[in-house]
Structure 1
Amino acid sequence: MANKDKTNVMRILDQKKIPHKEYSFPEVESTNGVEIAEILGEDPRQVFKTLVTQGKSRAYYVFVIPVARELDLKKAAKAVGEKAIAMIPQKELLPLTGYVHGGCSPIGMKKSFPTVIHESARELPTIYFSAGRIAHQVEVAPTELPKVLRFQYADVCTEVIE
């Protein structure tokens, strides 16, 4: 990938000397996370999405969960010590984080927000998540993330129905 194609996320990972792999693919209309996992040829349990919420206290929180799972709002609220949380409206995402829907990354947001990564990431050698632009992903070892992101692990997803 040429330097001009680097996203802020990639530049931050490079700057902090965090080993990572960068992926880009042709942008397709309304790609969901499971389709991105298929494009990458990876298990959807290893590909994560970034969700931004707001608590009853008006504070914002970031949750990074596997693409095939759904955020359990009650578990998420409990994990961050809120009475309740809700997803922010899509139109608020760009002004708040600097990222568009489908290209939101937990790294490099305009401001740092309390972040929770689903506990399943702890067991994985690497995880994939948005590189901060639609159709761009990075692969990083979860053990490297504390160098660039303050977060906690928690079970914040709905039960898996197989």
Structure 2
Amino acid sequence: MAREKMEKTNAVRILEQKKLPFSLHSYCCGEFTDGTAVADLLGEPREQVFKTLVTVGKSGGYTVFVIPVAEELDRKKAAAAVGEKSLELLPVKELFPLTGYVRGGCTAIGMKKQFPTVLHVSAMEQDTIFVSGGRLGLQIQLKPEDFLAACGGVWKDVTV
């Protein structure tokens, strides 16, 4: 796996430590770019590119949901899937202190603390998926089951 010289993110370090195969893809990005634009920049189908959403439940617990970029999280389904009464998206200002990642660069792999993670079931239909690589302008391509192995996640249907 030849890689260009770049500062490794926590996500990359963890994938290497676990010896999980992956490839890195970069794109020009000075600030937050929404997921559908990232898919277009990469020239990849939107159903193969996933976004990471961090939520806080009524109980105060955090859960990470990884869903296709063009989809919307169904908060009722998502809450039921993780045994919460309700869920709210984490405010952006709280993202970096909690996860160590910025908006647009957040991934479930290598957060400051590992939170329960749910990968949308549609990922099972893909040979590989793209997720944020831990910084703006970086995506990781890997098999969905390797993603789950890296973050200890589960499959669930949590979109509208």
Residue from 123, 135, 138 that aligns with 1:136: 138
After superposition, the Cα gap between the structure-2 partners of 1:30 and 1:108, relative to the gap in structure 1 and judged at 3 Å, is closer
TM-score normalised by L of structure 1: 0.93
Query: 2:82 maps to what in 1?
Result: 80
Across the two proteins, how many residue pairs are aligned to each other?
A: 158
Deviation of 1:145 (Å): 2.6
Residue from 32, 36, 39 that aligns with 2:38: 36
Query: 1:70 maps to what in 2?
Result: 72
Name the CA distance, whole Å, in 2 between partners of 1:62 and 1:20.
21
Query: 1:5 maps to what in 2?
Result: 7
Deviation of 1:134 (Å): 0.5
Name the CA distance, whole Å, in 2 between partners of 1:101 and 1:22.
19
Query: 1:15 maps to what in 2?
Result: 17
Q: What fraction of aligned residue pairs are identical, expressed as a percent?
A: 53
Which aligned segments of 4 or more residues in structure 1 are displaced greater than 3 angstroms?
1-4
SS at 1:128 equivalent: strand
Task: Select between 22-31 and 116-125 the one with higher mean Cα deviation.
Answer: 22-31
For the 8 Å contact 2:31–2:136, the answer to whether it is kept is no
TM-score normalised by L of structure 2: 0.94
Q: Which blocks of at least 5 consecutive residues in structure 2 are unaligned?
A: none
Q: Which blocks of at least 5 consecutive residues in structure 1 are unaligned?
A: none
Return the letter of the residue paired with 2:126. Answer: L
